[in-house]
Amino acid sequence: RRTVGLDYESVESGKSSRDVDPYALVFKRHSWYLLGFCHYRQETRTFRLNRIKKVTLTDRNFERKSDFSVEEFFRDSWEIYQGKLIEVKLRFFGKAVKVIESGPHHPSETVTKEKDGSLLYTIKVKGMEEISRWILGFGEMVEVLEPVDFRENIKDTIQKMQKLYSD
């Protein structure tokens, strides 16, 4: 129940110092994360432990919000990341159909088998980064149908990959 000072190195924003009210430690996707209220961002955030370069104990106490829940915090995330809640619609083909049919991948998913054997897959998820990586892992066996801006983002990534491999 003590606020800590963190020297943190984010992949996106680089090095920073911030005060955090630590709420929980969680292990997700091969790594440990600190969940806590970040005074700099004024919201609950995740901090990957191996990116914390220094921890300083402050003299300030805090009370964790009584309604905070780790499960609720991650409820709409693909895995860890947070962001704007979006509804994604995908069409899976070929071998990917069996992968998707093999079991649930997210609590919010709906899966519909089409007459041609493909699957329509709909999910509501926070943020695009993690689900983008998952989608790209299926290569030519998946198509992003909606939202349009997400489809364009995936298309841009594929074009950059094509340029990288065209030499």
| Residue 12 confidence (pLDDT) | 80
* Percent of the residues in the chain that have a pLDDT greater than 90, as a whole number: 81
More confident residue, 65 or 134: 134
Residue with tokens 């489809």: 151
Helix (H, G, I), strand (E, B) or coil at 18: strand
Tens-digit pLDDT profile for residues 19-38: 999 999 999 888 999 999 99
pLDDT at 14 over 90: no
Q: Residue 119 and residue 101: Cα distance in Å, rounded?
A: 9
| Residue 66 confidence (pLDDT) | 85
pLDDT at 135 over 90: yes
Mean pLDDT score, 39-46: 92
pLDDT at 167 over 80: no
| Residue 80 confidence (pLDDT) | 86
